[in-house]
Amino acid sequence: MSRIVLGVAGGVAAYKAALLLRALTEAGHDVRVVPTPGALNFVGAATFEALSGHPVTTDVWSDVPEVAHVRIGQTADLVVVAPATADLLARAAAGRADDLLTATLLTAHCPVVFVPAMHTEMWLHPATQDNVATLRRRGSIVLPPAVGRLTGPDSGPGRLPEPHDVAALAQVALTAGAGALRADLTGRRVVVSAGGTREPLDPVRYLGNRSSGRQGWALARVAAGRGAEVTLVAANVDLPAPFGVRVVPVGTAEELRAAVLAEAGSGGGVTADVVVMTAAVADFRPATVAATKLKKDSASEPAAVPLVRNPDVLAELVTKRAPGQLVVGFAAETGDEAGDVLAHARAKLARKGCDLLVVNDVSGGGVFGRPDNAAVVLAADGSATEIPHGTKDAVAAAVWQTVLPRLP
């Protein structure tokens, strides 16, 4: 159990802080809410007290013998400020300590995550952008705001990301540290494929696989958190889109191939800096697709289902990649009499020619659909980086740490 301080500033998105608080406490953390006085105009202290199990104060004059203005920050494992208003970012950048939250920010030794939310004009104003740059330079994480509906009829960048995205990224900062969410993918284009393709047999049935898309979702979410422009080519995934990520839905391997090559810029146009292929693409598809449902005890009942090979999307991406583009493959492997998991993976890396191959040992079905994972990242230069067991977001953060130094 970690000690998290949830700072809440006075923006209309403060109502989402209650859901974020819930997500963090349900993940097993001890969360103390420190709102600004302005935040309590939007959500009452009673809500934060009841959901956190801790008293809520906004100033440094309550609980004086406890010296709360110093102790809360000193003892925190993580501070998340959501929403972070333009005013709060300005006060934090200036090093002010005029309420309990800003005093806490000055005494925290742990990773600090600011989640800005405000109108587009306030976000894009040079004063706010300078404050964000100052906070990032000092080592704090400042997440990019989501783009979408703001208060009233307006829309644009400035929206608070959804609480489940913030909770997942807070968990990354907690386990991997502030360095795992630096804004160092800003200006980069990233394409991630996720999920599992479905190859139709007739209008009702398909050959599919057990990939849930969660690992690809986590890679997209962490890349967006680091500032990248991310497109997710998603094969049959039933998850809400991560914030700031454009989702291109596909069904079959052929559809996935067309979408990934187009988004990667393999045929020309804008090219991606990195393409990460986490999708489980079917190697085979039924040779024919029946136009009507195959029926038992009828002429259409198949004695066998002949299969033909699907295109090898990863290998094609490698051959057609733009100069400097990094291609990262994923391999779900099991050991067998011909070799162990890593031996199969090394052979696959050599065969496909990608820059990195992230290897999951799926013996015993320990990966599909679960929230956690572990992996080894093999590189074309022969190196192997072990990623310890953790949430799929933590694994995603570790994968990006191996990709980033290889970007030109």
Catalytic sites, residue numbers: 209
Instruction: For residue 196, give both structure tokens.
Output: 């599992």
Cis ω on the peptide bond leading into residue 35 (within 30° of 0)? no
Q: Is 296 annotated as a binding residue?
A: no
88 binds ligand FMN (CB under 6 A): yes
Q: Report in angstroms how near the CB of residue 286 gets to ligand FMN at its nearest.
A: 52
140 binds ligand FMN (CB under 6 A): no
Report the distance separating Cα 264 and Cα 157, nearest Å.
Answer: 25
Q: Report in angstroms how near the CB of residue 355 gets to ligand FMN at its nearest.
A: 41
Q: Is 314 annotated as a binding residue?
A: yes
Q: Which stretch binds ligand FMN (CB under 6 A): 36-44, 230-238, 274-282, 348-356?
A: 36-44
Q: Tell me which of 16, 36, 175, 276 binds ligand FMN, using CB under 6 A.
A: 36
118 binds ligand FMN (CB under 6 A): yes
First to last CA, the chain: 39
Report the distance separating Cα 327 and Cα 112, nearest Å.
Answer: 32
Q: What are the DSSP calls for 294-324, one per residue? A: --TTSTT--S---EEEPP-HHHHHHHHPPTT
Question: How many CB atoms are located within 10 Å of the residue 165 CB?
Answer: 26
Binding mask 42-81 for ligand FMN (x = CB under 6 A): ----------------------------------------
Q: Given the complex with ligand FMN, which of 119 and 321 has the nearer CB atom?
A: 119
Instruction: For residue 42, give both structure tokens.
Output: 């939007």
Q: Is 348 annotated as a binding residue?
A: yes
Q: Given the complex with ligand FMN, which of 13 and 43 has the nearer CB atom?
A: 13
Q: Is 352 annotated as a binding residue?
A: yes
Q: Given the complex with ligand FMN, which of 41 and 383 has the nearer CB atom?
A: 41
Q: Report in angstroms how near the CB of residue 247 gets to ligand FMN at its nearest.
A: 26
CA dihedral 217, 220, 226, 228 (to 10 degrees): -160
Q: List all residues 6 or more positions away from 178 whose beta carbon is below 8 Å from its beta carbon.
A: 111, 112, 113, 139, 140, 141
Single-letter amino acid, residue 263? E
Helix (H, G, I), strand (E, B) or coil at 390: strand
Q: Is 330 annotated as a binding residue?
A: yes
Which residues of the shown chain bind ligand FMN in the complex (CB under 6 A)? Answer: 9-13, 36, 38-39, 85-88, 117-118, 122
